[in-house]
């Protein structure tokens, strides 16, 4: 008998609520500084307050929300200080992770990354910045996934929501997604060619120029 395929990880109600709120934040539906009320969100999403409460805690931990004694939970505001903190840290880690991953990249994964680039072009033309920012993070994660250093991956993955957040906010202020897509294509080609040094250098340049663009948007 043929072996059964492993089932995909089940999606919990809390995960679905978290994803819905995350999409609303990245898409600008929930605006920076907006107060989030459990009861209101629960009514809008058609769920109880429990998964909403858990989702808000998760999104606060990932950096998309902030909590204040007087105001409760609010959507975080993107600003120059957040960009500086994120990109200074990212610039130290991600180029190295991409460089380390190149010798271990699977051709099937590289094909998926190329498809993400093509989909990104479509999402950008549709001005779907929420999904584009999520796809952008997924692309970068695919570049360093095989770096064979769990601490390095964990540190980069932990910034994922905040990086998607500032990217989407930056694109709303200055539409640079097409330039970034071309930079992505150059990085991917270096990875396909097996040139780890060039892939790391291009990743460094990409992050550095994105940092400059974001500072101009929020400065």
Give the whole-angstrom CA distance, residue 22 versus residue 216: 25
Residues 98 and 202 occupy one common structural domain: yes
> Which domain, by its residues, includes 45?
13-75
Residues 67 and 139 occupy one common structural domain: no
Residue 1 lies in a domain: no
**Which pLDDT belongs to residue 3?**
54
Give the whole-angstrom CA distance, residue 129 versus residue 122: 11
Computed from CA positions of residues 142, 148, 152, 157, in that sequence, does the dihedral angle turn out positive or negative? positive
**Which pLDDT belongs to residue 178?**
85
Residues 43 and 84 occupy one common structural domain: no
Residues 38 and 117 occupy one common structural domain: no
Q: Find the CATH number of the domain harbouring 186.
A: 1.20.120.530
Segments of the chain with pLDDT less than 50: 1-2, 7
Residue 3 lies in a domain: no
Residues 43 and 130 occupy one common structural domain: no
Computed from CA positions of residues 75, 58, 207, 135, in that sequence, does the dihedral angle turn out positive or negative? negative
Last residue of a domain, one of 75, 97, 124: 75
Residues 138 and 35 occupy one common structural domain: no
Give the whole-angstrom CA distance, residue 51 versus residue 179: 39
Residue 121 lies in a domain: yes
Residues 208 and 105 occupy one common structural domain: yes
Residues 46 and 84 occupy one common structural domain: no
Give the whole-angstrom CA distance, residue 114 versus residue 184: 10
Q: 102 near 206, Cβ under 8 Å?
A: no
Predicted TM-score (pTM) of the model is: 0.87
């Amino acid at each position: 008998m043929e072996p059964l395929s492993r089932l995909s990880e089940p999606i919990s109600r809390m995960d679905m609520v978290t994803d819905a709120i995350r999409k609303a934040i990245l898409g600008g539906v929930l605006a920076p500084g907006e107060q989030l009320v459990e009861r209101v969100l629960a009514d809008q999403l058609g769920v109880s307050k429990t998964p909403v409460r858990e989702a808000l805690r998760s999104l606060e931990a990932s950096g998309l929300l902030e909590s204040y004694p007087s105001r409760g939970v609010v959507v975080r505001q993107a600003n120059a200080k957040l960009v500086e903190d994120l990109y200074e840290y990212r610039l130290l880690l991600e180029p190295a992770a991409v460089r380390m991953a190149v010798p271990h990249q699977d051709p099937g994964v590289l094909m998926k990354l190329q498809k993400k680039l093509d989909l990104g072009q479509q999402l950008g033309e549709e001005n779907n910045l929420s999904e584009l920012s999520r796809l952008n993070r997924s692309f970068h994660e695919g570049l360093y996934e095989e770096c064979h250093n769990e601490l390095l991956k964990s540190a980069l993955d932990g910034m994922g929501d905040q990086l998607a957040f500032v990217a989407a906010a930056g694109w709303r202020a200055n539409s640079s997604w097409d330039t970034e897509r071309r930079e992505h294509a150059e990085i991917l080609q270096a990875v396909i060619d097996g040139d780890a040094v060039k892939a790391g250098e291009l990743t460094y340049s990409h992050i550095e120029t994105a940092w400059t663009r974001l500072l101009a948007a929020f400065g």
